Structure 1
Amino acid sequence: MEILEAYDLTGSYRAAAELAGCDHHTVARYVKMRAAGQNPQDRRHRERAIDAFLPKIEELVVRSNGKIRADVVHKRLVAMGFTGGERTTRRTVAEAKAQYRAGQRRVYRPWITEPGLWLQWDWGWGPVIKGRQTILWCAWLAWSRFRVVIPVWDKTMPTIAACLDATLRRIGGVPAYALTDNEKTVTTDHIAGIAVRNPEIVEIARHYGMTIRTCVPADPESKGGSEATVRIAKADLVPTEVNLVADYRTFGELEAACRAFGEEVNARVHRVTKRRPVELLAEERQRLHPLPKQPFTVAFGTTRRVCWDSTISVEAVRYSVPHELIDTRVWARFHGDELLVTAVAADGTAREVARHARGQAGTPVIDAAHYPPRENKEGDRKPKATSAEEAAFLMIGPGAATWLTEAAAAGTRRVKAKMAEAVALAKLYSTAQVDRALGTAALTGRFADADLLSILDYQVKHDSDQPTRASETHSLQPGTSAWARFGTTPAPAGTDLDEDTF
């Protein structure tokens, strides 16, 4: 433009060339191009040595779907007689790839979502806990951008049903469609490009009143919302050197972290909608279908019948459940490192009735709270009168019951006679004094014939209910001081050698 401006000012090729600092032939060429209606920016293509090999380069780029490397192309061109440098080949291959991508570029149409229509879910690898790999269920409600992340150990059908049920209950309704990947739990086969659904997932979807859809095989771009949810969840929850997240010691810590992550991302303003997902979810709930009152039973795992000992068997391990459920059917499934047992009442209300840590075969996992208090257990039996004589003895007080229990355990003879003696003594002394004496006798283990009377007489005189015990400073063992002078002083004739002699 400076050249043409200089020519318009001077009207001379040479004068314009001096002003523009170029050759006058260049000024003449640009003036003629403008006069012919051509773009002065266009330049004539000069013949290059690689132009003869352009068809081959385009062929190689198309055959490789634009993935062939320039150094590979250069080796082939050299074998065909190309004498140029590798830099020229790289530049030409880059141009060919750009033209190929322009012709093959995928054109996206903006997805304008409607409230209450689409839910997407996908899986992502979670952190390793105690040497075991976890998996993250990542669900995404398309219109409100509401996210739900649930950690699990596997991707089996019961786990999918449980996660789907938990997701729908967090959302507060059921959308019309659920979009996911083509895993065997969802799609069993493809025939003529048509996905064949797994009948179990169809039953689950029919129970909740929604339709399962799958993306194009090997095409994650067709479910980009859930892919982004997986990427964001892994970036925040999986420990890496970038986020400096600490390792999880238990599965419960990971569950708490996932719930906190959901609360955080759903409460902050979304960059596209400029609103918080929780606010949009409140509006979208008005367009969601109502949840069925009774969840799909497979969401709770596999069925088990409660045996007469109030236990169920799961993977050769017996787990206890409340004794009220004996001879009924419950549902059991593993969630993390815990076994969850769920029961459904007659009105359809489901509730969790037991939760146990994963056990080992041969070792039952029992919770004492699942059983009623044991009566008449050995060591905890309480005396109960079966005759008038026994009732009269037990009416003396708790000391009498303790005496009977201890005397029976010690194998005391003539127990009934001694009980009658205690009843007679209760008429001579006060009932409280006899009961205290019986308790003392049971405590000290004195069950002989005259022991009760002796203890009673002592306690009445000394007014004490504590038994007398020998101190550590006194001993009944005879001393050995008499033998200290043995052999040193001869005893007189006719003297008895006893302790007084020495």
Structure 2
Amino acid sequence: MSKVELYAAIRRDHRAGMKMRELERKYNVSWRTVKKAVDSVWPKPRKKLPPRPTALDPYKPVIDEMLRTDLDAPRKQRHTITRIFHRLVQEHGADVSYQMVRRYVSGRKPEILAASGKAPVEAFVPQTHLPGHEAEVDFGDVTVRLAGELVTCYLFSLRLSYSGKAVHRVFASCGQEAFFEGHVHALRTLGGVPRSKIRYDNLKSAVAQVLGLNRARVETDRWIAFRSHFNIESFYCRPGIEGAHEKGGVEGMIGYFRRNHFTPVPEVDSLAELNEMVDQWDLHDGHRRIGSRPRTVDEYFAVEQPLLMPLPQEPFETGRLFTPRVDRYSQIAVRTNRYSVPTRLIDKRVRVVLHASHLVVYDRNVEVARHERLIAKGSCRLDLDHYLEALIRKPGAFPGATALEQARSAGKFTPVHDAWWAQARKVHGERDGTRALIEVLLLNRHLAHEHVVAGLATALRAGALTADAVALEARKAAQAEDEPTVGASAPAIPGTPATVTSLHEWRLAHLPPDTRPLPSVTPYDQLLRRRRTSGSDHHEGEAQ
């Protein structure tokens, strides 16, 4: 039993008439314990032992002086715990551990700050948010293992202040494109726009200039147009850490979302796959209760959703427009990265619409290329298909092409391609074998990738090393997939060599039956008789 329960039992028996000696024997305690229990309901707290001396004691005044000096130092030039530890060791020869310094500084630093009077306790006033009136927006960085590589992405969050309903989206950057696309996705998911205001940081996507310490801001033109389109009223928090509490709901939401859904670090092949997971996590979080609220987030949102303003009917172009010129490597520069386009566009200007996760290239309003947006700076993304017309004229450049290596890394150029290519070079030679492979790669413009790979595998087993044979087998694979029960071929017997129908035989087999009569040469025989007659008359004339 606890000490409080022991005291209560002793006091109860003492009131019943038991003597001190009897209480000692019954509860197996000393006379002093019985006396204390009779005198007081609460046990007296045990006295704290004096702190034991440590190796850090002689250096505590030195640490205090460093912390006091930091009170007037610039914020970014103050002592860290590591710097204090290094100074103690290097300047004072202290034989102490980093953990000893860290424990002392973590307890002493708030005391020195409070004693200086420079950290007054700020009063916070509780706020009541009306349903459908307010929201908060912020970005938070998250770490993701994307296609096997550990990268930093950005989590957009829009949270309704009344219900706590939040919508999230992960982007490769936190630029204006991501800022706009995050709003569009969130407002469509919520089904409306807050009536009063949305709180923001002073992020560059929206604010071009902060005018003093008041709420006045110079906004960017595209953000003004975006706000006008969706009828959003913006509210900007105070700059720096002082304004973080003004949108504490979304700050806490990002932390909660990161701890509960991004721990451990998610492993995905693309951001599209990750955002599908994020949508499911948002649905799941709608069933939770925030703090001591009696109802769930979704139950409060059911009250708030009908009170939101309706969305506009017309779409808003969230992408950023660029008009770069295509260089001689058939590449365009967008921001800090390079992307490939078809070689026919070299030395021409194209129109690029840059979105948060991808970019689209247009030539006179016709889409000519589409790339996933690169995350790292100074990178390039090349599509092998864009270079095929040039490579078929220069097959010697194919083996070392950067686009080929990227296609291998992306899984678009498979080991089946390599095996077929090797056999084609053995049979046709280096130049013609490579050209045959490039002709096969051109089939991807009309046939699905998996069908072309299936055609390559069948042609390789049969030793058919021409693009026509691969095309035929790829179309047969596509036809078998579209019509699995009609005209399906019998399953292949293990050990039986594969056979490939020639393109000429395949065309003849698919022609309609010929019902015309067989041709006759009888009319031509008349010409032969006439020729013989005229020939004999000619000889008779010579004889005369």
TM-score (norm 1): 0.46
TM-score (norm 2): 0.43
Which has the higher Rg, Structure 1 or Structure 2? Answer: 1
Q: Which has the higher helix share?
A: 2
